[in-house]
């Protein structure tokens, strides 16, 4: 297992730049659906904002750190877990919230807000917990990760597309809607194809080591969903908002995590495999729980 920390996923610089641009385009497409009203709506409900931020950027990274201490995975896998937990929520959470009869407006608003905050909080949380745990700290020192380089890339991938997309939406809503309608599915398909291509060249790595991360990825994701639901319940939020925060906490932007891993860690084996598996699994788990809640709500309506 120790050799997993030395395994590298082969991904050339040209492919990395394409991945950069595609992820930026995806975020631009997401931003086209965001308005200032989304942020204003959140600030009219400060309790929801604080709980959402608390879950996404404080409790989830902390829970991940505790999980790492408890199961003591390989350092590269631990770094992958920390990277995923440090990323903001993924925009697919909006669709899943709608499917589960959650608060879609809250989901969209929190995704926008968490993306904005993530420009600073993603580098901070990853660095903080990465250096707090000695085995991962040793790996980070070997890589000599510059926090300003990490911040610069996150601003390029999240910050700039967010501002440009929202600006276009405010100037020409009709054009923004038209572009968004075509851009989002296309860019996501291209992103998936690039990632598949990248990992198709590393099938030997996956076949040898994937089984080491599967149970960890599933456990980590389920704990994240449970964390969101129980914390929302503890704060006496409505059932609708409990479902929303569970999904928002359990669906992470693992695409951003993969990009950062390819850029700064040369596709470090355990990190890349964990993030890639999370990217697949959180869609599966999110759909399962969304369909369950949707079915449950429908049964309740039929009974009443």
In this prediction, residue 230 carries a pLDDT of: 97
For residues 36, 42, 46, 48, the Cα torsion angle rounded to the nearest 10 degrees is -150
Fold for the domain defined by 9-199+207-296 = Na+/H+ antiporter like fold (1.20.1530)
Where in the chain are the domains?
Answer: 9-199+207-296
Residues 53-65 have a mean pLDDT of 95
Confidence at residue 182, expressed as pLDDT on a 0 to 100 scale: 78
Return the structure tokens found at 124: 């901070």
Section 171-177 average pLDDT: 84
Q: What integer pLDDT is reported at residue 259 of this predicted model?
A: 79
Rounded CA separation 247/95 (Å): 10
pLDDT value of position 224: 96
Please state whether the predicted TM-score (pTM) of the whole model is above 0.75: yes
Alpha-carbon gap, residue 20 to 35, rounded angstroms: 24
| Residues 198-219 pLDDT 10s | 667 667 777 777 788 889 999 9
Give the distance, in angstroms, between the CA of residue 275 and the centroid of all CA atoms in the same chain: 9
At 2, the pLDDT band (50, 70, 90 cuts) reads low
């Amino acid at each position: 297992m120790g050799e997993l920390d030395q395994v590298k996923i082969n991904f050339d610089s040209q492919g990395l730049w394409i991945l950069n641009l595609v992820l930026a385009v995806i975020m631009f497409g997401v931003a086209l659906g965001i308005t200032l009203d989304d942020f204003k709506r959140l600030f009219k409900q400060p309790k929801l904002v604080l709980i959402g931020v608390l879950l996404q950027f404080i409790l989830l990274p902390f829970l991940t750190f505790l999980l790492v201490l408890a199961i003591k995975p390989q350092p590269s896998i631990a770094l992958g877990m920390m990277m995923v937990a440090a990323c903001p929520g993924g925009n697919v959470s909006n669709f899943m919230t709608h499917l589960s009869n959650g608060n879609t407006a809250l989901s969209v608003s929190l995704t926008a807000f968490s993306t904005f905050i993530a420009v600073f909080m993603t580098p901070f949380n990853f660095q903080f917990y990465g250096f707090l745990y000695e085995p991962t700290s040793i790996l980070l020192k070997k890589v000599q990760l510059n926090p300003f380089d990490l911040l610069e890339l996150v601003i390029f991938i999240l910050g700039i597309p967010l501002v440009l997309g929202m600006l276009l939406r405010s100037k020409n809503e009709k054009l923004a809607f038209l572009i968004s309608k075509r851009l989002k599915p296309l860019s996501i398909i291209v992103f998936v194809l690039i990632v598949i291509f990248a990992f198709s060249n590393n099938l030997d790595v996956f076949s040898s080591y994937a089984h080491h991360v599967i149970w960890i990825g599933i456990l980590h994701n389920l704990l994240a969903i449970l964390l969101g639901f129980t914390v929302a319940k503890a704060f006496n939020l409505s059932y609708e908002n409990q479902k929303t925060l569970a999904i928002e906490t359990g669906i992470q932007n693992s695409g951003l995590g993969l990009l950062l891993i390819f850029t700064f860690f040369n596709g470090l084996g355990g990190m890349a495999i964990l993030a890639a598996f999370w990217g697949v699994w959180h869609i599966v788990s999110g759909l399962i729980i969304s369909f369950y809640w949707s079915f449950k709500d429908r049964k309740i309506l039929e009974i009443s």
